A and B are shown apart, each in its own frame.
Chain A
Amino acid sequence: MNVVNKPLASLDGKALMMGRPAYTDDFALPQSLVVKVLRSPHPFAKIVSIDCIEARALPGVATVLTHQDFKRIAFTRAGQGYPEPSPHDKFVLDAYVRYVGDEVAIVAAVDLQTAEAAVAAIRVQYELLPPVLDMETAVDNPSVLHPEPEACEMFPIGFEPKRNIAAGYKMNVGDVEAVLKTCEVVVKQTYHTTAQAHVAMETHAANAHFDHQNRLVIHATTQTPVHVRRIISQALEYPIANIRVIKPRVGGGFGGKQAIAAEIIVAAVAIKTGMPCRYVFTRKEVFEASYSRHPMKIEMTLGAMKDGTLKAIDCQVLSDTGAYGEHALTVFMVTGSKVLPLYNKVEAVRFAGTVVYTNHTPAGAFRGYGAIQGNFALESAIDELCVELQCDPLAFRRKNMMREGETSPIFAIMGEGTEGTAMTMDTCKLPFCVDRGAELCDWAHNHPRRIIAKNRVRAVGMAIAMQGSGIPLIDMAAATVKLNDDGFYNLLIGATDIGQKSDTILAQIAAEALGTTLDKIVVTSSDTDVTPFDTGAYASSTTYVSGNAVLKAATKMKETLIAEAAIVLGTTRDQVAFDGTTFVAETGRLSLKDLSNRLFYNHDQKQLSVTESFCGHKSPPPFMAGFATVEVDLETGEVELIDYASVVDCGTTINPKLAQGQVEGGIVQGIGMTLFEDPIYGKDGKTVNNDLLSYKIPTRLEIKKLTTEFAISYEESGPFGAKSVAEIGIDTPPAALANAIYSAVGVRIRTLPITPEKIWRGMQLRAGKQEESK
């Protein structure tokens, strides 16, 4: 291969470094109204009255919108395909506010100062309702978040709003209770994960204006342009054909920009005022009023025999979706479906749980999407089981984990909100990943621990993980390849580049298939008026799903070119060889450049353009093994991460350096969730750390060393052998770090984040127990 699997520089990196206008707010019209939103200071309240007279009277205020200005149409901000697996439980504005940060009123004014003054001038009378602020007490709580009759499910998702249940699900293979009874060792533990924040560096933003055809043009920081178009149309009853959504460059998404956030607000303002407007979320608004990761309580029960055979897994989940059920069911299902198949040889497996409403900031899609929560629980529990069995964690995993050519019954049972799709692992290099990772971290020397200094120990811990490559039979992508004169191409894709550099790797796939070079492929992506359909950047779908669409389109274009060349050369298609630049047949030679110019200007003139679509019948999982090497201070509990070694099977890496970037970015985001990021809710339901001074993501100084390698792997169903790689990196750090810290100091932390204080407390407790036993 000449272009694929090569570490080529991205298409847009240089211009972005040089500061070219590229992101959403760079494209707001200069005369745009500035939009601000009045947000609820209460976790749960009924709006008794809103007095906007003073606000509307302020000079420069264009409009003030309240719930009285909107027809009550329930929708979901989730940003998924249709019908959504998330309940329709949100209104653009409502007479009820359900979390601190929920929208109360929308203001648009000539400048920021005026808009802020108008927000401050709105007088709202609230009737406070008792909030539900603990997921443990949400079910059947006398306070019901969604009593409104409009709230509904699109298809059965276990939606029971009167009980504060947004979604529920259960499944089993075999009889878990019976098998557990036959096990010689049973480990049962409960794990807690947090409402991690995405912290994309660009905050959510959108702007809207009417163009020369009086069509509504929206620029937005979105991962899902076609869903934005559809949902705005439905929620505002505005003709979908009159909406154009353009996604410029996006400063990071990680799932946080799958939601419809600022888009619907600027659309409403533009429609009401007819004027261009812009809305940029403050960092506080992103924390408070976009969405977070679903915090979960996971009860994991494992049963095994003394010879190290894992026989049963029982996984019970309680998930907090906050005030609205965005991704409630699907994130929770992935906690089972992309975690439990890792150990496919068990006799019985059960998965069940409930996703509840609380008066917290909503939770939604976030890289890892339930798998990171489930992985923390399962891979921690596996190590806890290994302690009981006195078994080496590597040996245990080698014996029990998924291998190539195998399957799991879970694939057929569990999909994302629907039934799943049976599939066999045509590629699974987990054995290599585990062996190579053990070498990289010098497991033999460092496990379980090594004394480094008087108060310092070094230890290693590991975890394995799997993810997916799109949602089979649901995620669809299309690509158009268009020939230009002189023989270069346009690649039009709906695929959504949010900084993961999908434009670049999709261009690499096209260039490889066409036998050309990257500079001959001009990419246009994510403009709903121009580019073909693509569900968007989520579910690790782009490389595999969009990549396959591009491969099909480019391959078809090559065939079309050969057919045209054969006509010119006076021969048949099978007699023409094409190397990407020249057609050669016994009857003569023809350059692509000459063919193109001839087709446009001289003979049998026509535009060659090919559009192809792809919808997967399976979702081949990428796999990885992650190995954390840590040093722990025995006096303070401080953890220093010495190295994080990752060995990944994502099939062919379309661009090895960019794939490495996806893995390492995920790893560090996972490290952040595990060690540093500690989202806190106050007793009043407010997010306490809602700025970057108090919510701490990893800095350069916490990340000393990352070692990232890829297994040699070729997934036949993927473009040039590729699987997706966006999410797999984030899954292992919680369990690998928890396992390493246990190895270091004998303290097992089951509630994230793993702070030095928790480790210190664990060490104190152990010291106390040892003292007692003396």
Chain B
Amino acid sequence: MIVNVDVNGRLRSFDVLPGAFLLDVLREAGYTSVRRGCDSTSCGICTVLVDGKPVPSCSYLAIRAEGKKVTTVEGIPDEAARLARHFGEEGADQCGYCNPSLALAVYALKQINPGASDDEIRVWLVGNLCRCSGYQSQLVAIKRYLEERP
């Protein structure tokens, strides 16, 4: 069946199987930034924004995105580059596999709570696992990014 989605500001039509999930549809369409981690809603790696909210695309039925705005990290290049600069300064980036999903989740947080405290940042991102960094350098980098006023 056909599903019409605004992906990063561009209207796209995807011909999908009824049970297809957004993760698979986006990856097949070339949005390689959307990545598979656990496939069971537990790790946050596949996070994309649907109407501005972080959701796990591995378990989000593609056809539910009909008429919605889907944002992958390709849709927020300037914000991702800004966050990357702080990650680079803090050495917080390591394997990078989780970073696009993290950029999206942090960007969503910036829209609603740019003054988030350390604990608010941790709670907001608790569903975004990272096995490389130990989290602390990421926290510092994310705080700097949120504090940055363009």
Contacts and interface: CB of A to CB of B under 8 A. Distances in A.
Contact flag (A, B; Cβ within 8 A): yes
Interface of A: 7-10, 12-14, 16-23, 25-26, 113, 198-203, 249-252, 254, 280, 282-283, 498-501, 655-661, 663-669, 691-693, 697-701, 703, 705-706
Contacts of A664: 133-137
Given A201-B45, A500-B94, A10 B136 contact: no
A115 B135 CA distance: 38
B84 interface: yes
Contacts of A498: 95
Contacts of A703: 134-136
Nearest to A497: B95
A138 B88 CA distance: 49
Contacts of A20: 32-33
Contacts of A13: 84, 87-88, 93, 96, 99
B92 interface: yes
Interface residues of B, number: 56
A19 B73 contact: yes
Main secondary structure on chain A at its contact with chain B? loop
B125 A700 contact: yes
A23 B43 contact: no
B132 A699 contact: no
A230 B32 CA distance: 30
Given A13-B93, A17-B93, A19-B73, A201 B37 contact: yes
B88 A691 contact: no
Contacts of A12: 96
Contacts of A14: 81, 84-85, 88
Contacts of B11: none
B74 A9 contact: no
27 contacts: A9-B89, A13-B99, A14-B84, A17-B73, A17-B80, A19-B34, A20-B33, A21-B32, A22-B96, A25-B36, A200-B95, A201-B132, A202-B95, A202-B97, A249-B97, A498-B95, A657-B89, A657-B90, A659-B91, A661-B137, A664-B137, A665-B94, A665-B131, A669-B131, A693-B42, A698-B135, A701-B122
B143 interface: no
B93 A10 contact: yes
A8 B45 CA distance: 26
Interface of B: 17, 31-43, 45, 72-74, 77, 80-81, 83-85, 87-100, 103, 121-123, 125-126, 128-139
Contacts of A659: 91
A661 B32 contact: no
A691 B41 CA distance: 10
Contacts of B89: 7, 9, 657
A202 B99 CA distance: 12
Given A19-B72, A668-B134, A700-B125, 10 more contacts: A16-B100, A113-B17, A199-B131, A202-B35, A657-B91, A659-B91, A660-B137, A665-B94, A691-B38, A697-B129
Contact of A655 (B91, B123, B133): B91
Contacts of A691: 38, 40, 42
A280 B97 contact: no
Nearest to B88: A9
A525 B120 CA distance: 39
A647 to B, nearest CB: 16
Given A655-B91, A700-B122, A499 B132 contact: yes
A466 B110 CA distance: 42
A57 to B, nearest CB: 22
A391 B131 CA distance: 37
Q: Which 10 A-B pairs have the closest CB atoms?
A: A19-B33, A499-B95, A9-B88, A657-B91, A251-B97, A16-B96, A664-B134, A17-B84, A692-B42, A13-B93
Contacts of A656: 91
B88 A18 contact: no
A661 B72 CA distance: 27
Contact of B96 (A203, A499, A666): A499
A18 B32 contact: no
A113 B16 CA distance: 13
A500 B94 CA distance: 6
B84 A661 contact: no
Contacts of B121: 700
Nearest to B74: A19
A21 B96 CA distance: 12
Contacts of A199: 131
A19 B80 contact: yes
Nearest to B104: A19
A706 B77 CA distance: 31
B29 to A, nearest CB: 11
Given A9-B85, A19-B100, A692-B40, A661 B94 contact: yes
A501 B39 contact: no
Contact of A668 (B38, B103, B135): B135
B97 A23 contact: yes
A170 B76 CA distance: 59
A8 B93 CA distance: 12
Given A7-B91, A499-B94, A661-B92, A18 B133 contact: no
A17 B97 contact: no
A705 B136 contact: yes
A500 B85 CA distance: 18
A200 B96 CA distance: 11
A661 B94 CA distance: 8
